[in-house]
Structure 1
């Protein structure tokens, strides 16, 4: 039987490994997060927080300031690997036109957020935005551990199903632009049919025919 502790441990380990991989990319100047990672956290947040977030980049190639939104609950998220106050303030500024749609704006830093933030007061007040609205993966783990068992089970299945693909998407290419692994590494390969030697089959068939005629 899978215990609650086991579920939490696997979920936390999965999220932490993603966070560490993103942090390594950021140290190398690779701060972009692809669509697959946005969708992974969309599904995770929906299950963990009982939301119905959609990827706002479906509406246009790049939604200014926001990545995920639930208009019914009036909650939206910017998913980013950049932890700076400048990034947070820019998110609030570019999101101002969506204020009538979303009452609550959160910034989810995939990695480790700063210890404190100097927020632009005019912008933050207009959204009732405080440092409590800036989350990192540690915050997400804290919000997870107290969830009911059935929700933990669903998150465990999500992480187990998608973690390999997420880590591949975050992999850093070598100097030639090649990746050390691919999704093919996690897919069972179709065995290659082994062709028999036709000459051997032909000789065997002729031998059988001669034997049949000899005893006919």
Structure 2
């Protein structure tokens, strides 16, 4: 569905930006924070029909406030920090005296704000501020996007593509992942049996360690193709150095993306499957097959990546291959 394609792309890009802001902030690289002020202003203008402008362009180094919409009487701060102390520090700034009667919005660009929306805050200037409604984070933004009409969603998708760029190894490019899928789709898998070198006991430990018991049947169903897929990877690597590694990296990148988004283990597993399906079907060299076969092949790929330690955490001493 186009709606699914648009939303998955938008969600991936916004969560990628949040992760980048968070990780770069840990090493004191704050350039993305500055760029994000205007980006989030434009984004909220599209989503909520605001007229936000970057106040730092109008007045240099305005303390406590980043964005202003004089038409709708809104002022906002854009921050990668989302704590009670940070929000209260903003609310106590004297600039609120210049904007009496304006509603204050706090925009968290990298942290989940659920707990903050349930909190109360000192508000010395009596700014209009209702935490439940006026604290915005990436999750609340994505919830708005999810329920948009498909025309508006497509328009927003185009905006995100322009701002955050195409994913060069996902959107209409030659995908190694699609190539390995095409190889796998042409294999006769009816006679596959569990590979003797697979250590089922260790795999079960990893399933329990990651709280994936509800998808254990799925993992058990597809782990039997380990040897068959391993043969294909070996053939694949003869065509170029590290081609199989590039496949693993694509799957790992989807795992990292959804892990950052805070998905529960089982939801995370199936989100990876769905995202890999999207990547494959949007690749130029994907040869269309029935959806049931596509889904089966992707499950084989993702379960294999799970077994091989490419995704999800490994319990101490984990070894998926039986030592001989």
**What TM-score range do you get, normalising by the shorter chain?**
0.5 to 0.7
Query: CA 1:126/1:48 → structure 2, altered by over 3 Å: closer, same or farther?
Result: closer
Write out aligned runs for 1:66-81 (5 A): 66-81=65-80
C-alpha separation in 2, matches of 1:73 and 1:114: 24
SS in 2 for 1:7: helix
Query: CA 1:115/1:152 → structure 2, altered by over 3 Å: closer, same or farther?
Result: closer
Q: Which has the higher helix share?
A: 2
SS in 1 for 2:92: helix
Aligned length, in residue pairs: 163
Query: CA 1:85/1:32 → structure 2, altered by over 3 Å: closer, same or farther?
Result: farther
C-alpha separation in 1, matches of 2:52 and 2:96: 19
Write out aligned runs for 1:71-110 (5 A): 71-94=70-93, 95-100=95-100, 102=102, 104-110=103-109
Deviation at 1:157, TM superposition (A): 0.9
C-alpha separation in 2, matches of 1:5 and 1:114: 25
2:47 counterpart residue number: 48
Query: CA 1:80/1:122 → structure 2, altered by over 3 Å: closer, same or farther?
Result: closer
Query: CA 1:74/1:126 → structure 2, altered by over 3 Å: closer, same or farther?
Result: closer
2:156 counterpart residue number: 155
Query: CA 1:19/1:79 → structure 2, altered by over 3 Å: closer, same or farther?
Result: same
Cα-to-partner distance string for 1:51-71 (whole Å, 9 max, x where unaligned): 111111112112222111211
Query: CA 1:86/1:49 → structure 2, altered by over 3 Å: closer, same or farther?
Result: same
In the alignment, structure 2 segments of 5+ residues that lack a partner are 167-324
User: Which has the bigger relative contact order, CA under 8 A and spacing at least 6?
Assistant: 1
Cα-to-partner distance string for 1:143-184 (whole Å, 9 max, x where unaligned): 21112222212211111111149xxxxxxxxxxxxxxxxxxx
Q: Which structure would you say has the larger Rg?
A: 1
1:58 counterpart residue number: 57
Cα-to-partner distance string for 1:83-119 (whole Å, 9 max, x where unaligned): 11111011111142233262x2111111123542454
Query: CA 1:150/1:34 → structure 2, altered by over 3 Å: closer, same or farther?
Result: same
C-alpha separation in 2, matches of 1:92 and 1:33: 24
TM-score between both structures, scaled by the size of structure 2: 0.46
TM-score between both structures, scaled by the size of structure 1: 0.67
CA contact (8 A) 1:7 1:153 kept: yes
CA contact (8 A) 1:31 1:82 kept: no
Write out aligned runs for 1:126-141 (5 A): 126-141=127-142
Structure 1 runs of 4+ aligned residues shifted over 6 Å read none
Deviation at 1:132, TM superposition (A): 3.3
